[in-house]
Structure 1
Amino acid sequence: MVDPGWSRIGPDPAIRAWADSARAAALRALAATDEAWRCGGTWFVGVDALPNSPDGAIHGTPFPWDALPLRPEPLHRAQLSVIRPGYPRPSPDETPAAFAFRRDRDAAHLDGLLPIGPDKRRMVKEPHAWILGLPLNRATASPLTVWEGSHEILRAALLKALAPHPPESWGEIDVTDAYQQARREAFATCRRLELAASPGEATLIHRLTLHGVAAWKSGDTAPPEGRMIAYLRPQLACVRDWLAAP
């Protein structure tokens, strides 16, 4: 079987216990934050917003390592991604083209590539080991989306772009053109999936999988606080490890 680049785990009581504890912490964080909501007030980015400890525990509830196909390792504070009705709406910090891409293509992206300099050229600055999404409340709205098998397309394209350069310099190399071409290939050849999940489940994404967030559709539902997901992305030591198989 071809690796699709994602998997769903659970439901599991240990994952659910962590999600319940994290939801309580998330509601407190949202009430106390002064962070501006993006996309016309419909998206709270919430980087490092949750108060988990390096072992993943949150307010005494242990991180559910035993329920996950992952080895325990030190974790950063989790991102809290919250989506409200109407996502996405136009905002001054996005060009019309960027907004259209967010609306029509889920703002599909590869984590770890950051826009550098005035021209926002993409470089691998945050080589993650994996991406784990943990839903904190029950919602049908704006699920995570993935393009199945896209991780192999992106791996091949980035390796080709970086091969002429010494591996120790790979984090300083402009890979914008290779990335954009590989993303177009993924749109044309890979199946797009919407991965709705509930508290007690987890979605594990390969670090090189193209992914995004679906627009809020008519009939979508979520609690009053909006659709909430916690994300964890521990970093690897180098770009070469990031591009290594599997």
Structure 2
Amino acid sequence: MTGAAALTRRGWGRIGPDPAIAAWAEAALPVAQQQISASQEPWRCGGTWFVGVDALPNGPDGAVAGVAFPWSALPLQPVALHPGQLSVIRRGYPQPSPDETASAFAFRQSRDAAHLDGLLPVGPDRRRMIREPHGWILGLPLTGILASPLVVWEGSHKIMAAALAAALRPHAPETWADIDVTQAYQAARAQVFDSCPRIELPARPGEATLLHRMTVHGVAPWQGSAQGDRIIAYFRPLLATVAEWMAAP
């Protein structure tokens, strides 16, 4: 099952392999490698994870190195795209690091650092608020490394949508970006772990992974002896308001 039907029922869909996606990935890889090598951004998790937000210099239409974005192969309407994230994982991920607490590292190991995109930690107490409402999450692998794949909790989007709707309902929609949803989010995520299947989604160039915007997801620890970088380009185009984020299918 791929596309909109999978997104509605499962919260994720796999697309391809498709020659248009493969052509884009082939063109994007050397550009991505150059950007990663030239970046001054520090690697996290003991040098095993390059976050790479906005690191891919694609155009607003998604084209890179003269190759068109594979809209024709995707169950999505073309929209203006931000520079893609280049998420890079290396052998040994994750490793302890000074910028992460012991409990956060343990959660990364045991729960794949599971999270919901769009909820940012705000203020000194790092309270979760919906500050980056996005329409969907699209992952396009640039290398064939299958270690440390994307992980999703199937059906988690339904639990998250219900929990966040209940937390926001007492408040005016124009204030929703400033509402603390930490408690609702953490309780819903615990329910997700108890009731939703954990699915690993390794993918190769020429394939794409599409996630519902409210699907809980993470990255699995590196397993096996594969050599090289696992590079995935991610796109999360923003919606205008949190109300639109909540109302979208």
TM norm structure 1:
0.97
1:239 alignment partner AA? V
Structure 1's consecutive aligned runs of 4 or more residues displaced over 3 angstroms after TM superposition are none
CA RMSD of aligned residues (A): 1.0
SS of equivalent residue, structure 1 residue 159: helix
String of CA shifts for 1:99-122, please: whole Å, max 9, x gaps: 101111000000000000011000
Mapped partners of 2:75, 2:225: distance in 1: 31
Corresponding residue of 1:46: 52
Corresponding residue of 2:120: 114
Corresponding residue of 1:5: 11
Contact 1:37 1:44 in 2 (8 A): yes
SS of equivalent residue, structure 2 residue 189: helix
Percent of matched pairs sharing the same residue: 65
Corresponding residue of 1:221: 226
Corresponding residue of 1:140: 146
1:234 alignment partner AA? P
String of CA shifts for 1:110-141, please: whole Å, max 9, x gaps: 00000000110000000000000000010121
Which of 85, 97, 101 is 1:95 aligned to? 101
Mapped partners of 1:111, 1:220: distance in 2: 30
1:1-246 → structure 2 map (5 Å cutoff): 3-217=9-223, 219-222=224-227, 224=228, 226-246=229-249
Which structure 2 residue ranges, 5 or more long, are not aligned? none
1:53 alignment partner AA? G
Contact 1:140 1:220 in 2 (8 A): no
What count of residue pairs does the alignment treat as equivalent? 243
Mapped partners of 1:61, 1:203: distance in 2: 20
Which structure 1 residue ranges, 5 or more long, are not aligned? none
Mapped partners of 2:63, 2:248: distance in 1: 30
